[in-house]
Amino acid sequence: MEILRNIWRRKLRSVLTISGITIGVLALTTMGALSENFNALLNGGVTYFGSNVQVGPPDGQSASLLAISKIDEIKQVQGVAAAFPGYNFSAKPGQVTVVSFGIPDEIVAGDPQENNWAALKTTTAQGHQLDANSTGEVVLGSTIDKEFNKKIGDTIDLPVRPPDAKPDFVNHTFTVVGILNPTRTAPDTFAYITIADGQMLLKDSLPLAIRNQIDVSQITESIQVYGKPGSSISDLDAIADRINAQVDGVKATRPSVLVNSFRSGGAIFTAITTAAALLALIIGGLSVVNTMFMAVAERIREIGLKKAVGATTLDVMREFLIEATLIGVIGGLIGYGIGAAITIIANATTPPGQSTLFLLDLPLTVFAIGFATLLGAVAGIMPAWRAARLDPVTALRNE
C-alpha cells in the first residue's frame, strides 16, 4: 500500500512513466499478435510441407503438368509409402493480388485419403469430408465459407466469375457438403474438390487449341509423396533425392528447403516487429530508471529514517525494486489491455473472407506482461542500489 502511495505521490511523473511502459507494451502486444498470426500461417506451411515431398515438373518446363503415370513410378522408389495427384486453381481468377497477410482463395483438388497422411489434418465443423468418387461437391475452409456465406447444401459456382469475364469463361456449380474447422493457415481459404472435378477444371484452364487433344485424366499438376508414418524431414529429403535420381521428367523438392524458407521468412518478420516493439519498451524502461532515481533523490531522508529504525540494505533495496517493478506491472497491464482490445476489435471487424490480422495467444500475453515486469525490475536495480547504499547519518540530515 505504501508503495502504491509512493508511486501516486508524484502523479504526473508517475503517469508519464507508466505511459512510457504502456506504449511499449501496447506496441509489443499488437506487433507481437501480428507476428504470431503470421507465424501461425507459416507454421501451417512448415507442418504441411515438412510431412511430404512436393513433386512437380522438371526445371525449365513451362507448364505445370505431369503424366499421372509418374505416380506409379514414384511409388516404386524406396521409402515411398503413398503418392497423390494434386491440382490447384485460383478460386477468384483475375482478382488483383494486393499485399496481404492471408493466403488467396484457392480451389484444391486431391484425393480425400491424403488427409490421413498429411501432418496438417483438416476436420469438419459441419457436414463431411469429400467422397473420393463424388463429383460436383465441395468442402469449404472456414474463411472462404464466411466470405461466401454458405451453409451445408448450398451451391457455389467455382471458379468465381470475374466481373469482366470473357464470354468463354467457364465455371461449375458445386454443392457444399462440408465446412472445415479453422486452422489459421492455408486450408481456411481453400475449397476442396475431388480429383475428377479437378481434372475438369484443368481441362477448362487449357488453351482452346489443345483443350480437346489432351486426356486430362492422365495429367496431374503436382504429386504429393509421403514416407511411412513418422518419417523425419531428413528421411523425406532422402526420398526426394532418390526420386530425382530414379524418376525422369519430374523434380522433387527437398522438404527441408521449403521448411527452411518458411522458417526464415517468419524469423525475419518476427525479428522486425518484435525489435520495433522492444525498442519502444526499452525507451519506456529508461523513463522508469529516471523516475526511480528522482524518487531516491526525493526520499533520501525517508531512506535514512528507515535505516535508523532497522531497515537493512536489502530491505531498502527490495522496497525500491518492488516500486519499480510495480510501475512495470501497471504499465504492462494497461498496455496489454489496450493492445488486446485493439487486436480483438480489429479481428472482429475484419470483413468476411479476409484473414484476421492478429493472433493474441498465451505465450505472447505472458511475454508482454512478463517483459514489462522484468523491465521495471531491471530499471529499478541501479536506483534501488543507490538508495540501499546511502549512509543513514548523511541521509537523515539531508536537506
Partner 1 sequence: MADVRLEDLSKHYKRGSEIIRALDGVTLDIGKGEFVAVVGRSGSGKTTMLDLIGLLLRPTAGRLLIDDVDTGKLNDRDRAHMRALKVGFVFQEYNLLPTLNVLENVMLPLRYAKKGSDGRAHALELLERVDLTDRIKHRPSELSGGQQQRVAIARSMINKPSLILLDEPTGAVDTETAEQLVMLLKRLNKEDQVTIIVVTHDLDVASQTSRNIRLKDGKVLADEPAGAVPAA
Which residues make up the interface to partner 1 (CB under 8 A)?
Answer: 2, 5-6, 9, 301-302, 304-315, 392-393, 396
Identify the bridge partners of residue 82 per DSSP, sorted by sequence position: 226
Nearer to partner 1, 286 or 308 (CB): 308
Peptide bond into 112 cis (omega under 30): no
- C-beta of 10: minimal distance to partner 1 in Å? 11
Phi and psi (nearest 5°) for 169? -65, 135
- C-beta of 303: minimal distance to partner 1 in Å? 11
Q: Report d(CA 154, CA 128) in Å as an integer.
A: 14
Joined grid coordinates for residue 227: 514416407
* Residue 16 and residue 7 in contact, taking contact as beta carbons nearer than 8 Å: no
Nearer to partner 1, 59 or 399 (CB): 399
Nearer to partner 1, 8 or 169 (CB): 8
Nearer to partner 1, 4 or 279 (CB): 4
Question: What's the longest Cα–Cα distance across the chain?
Answer: 102
- C-beta of 393: minimal distance to partner 1 in Å? 5
The alpha carbon dihedral of 175, 177, 182, 186 has a sign of negative
- C-beta of 380: minimal distance to partner 1 in Å? 18
The alpha carbon dihedral of 104, 106, 111, 112 has a sign of positive
Nearer to partner 1, 268 or 297 (CB): 297
Q: Report d(CA 290, CA 308) in Å as an integer.
A: 26
Q: Report d(CA 240, CA 268) in Å as an integer.
A: 27
Nearer to partner 1, 2 or 164 (CB): 2
- C-beta of 6: minimal distance to partner 1 in Å? 6
- C-beta of 293: minimal distance to partner 1 in Å? 19
25: Cα within 13 Å, side-chain hemisphere: 34
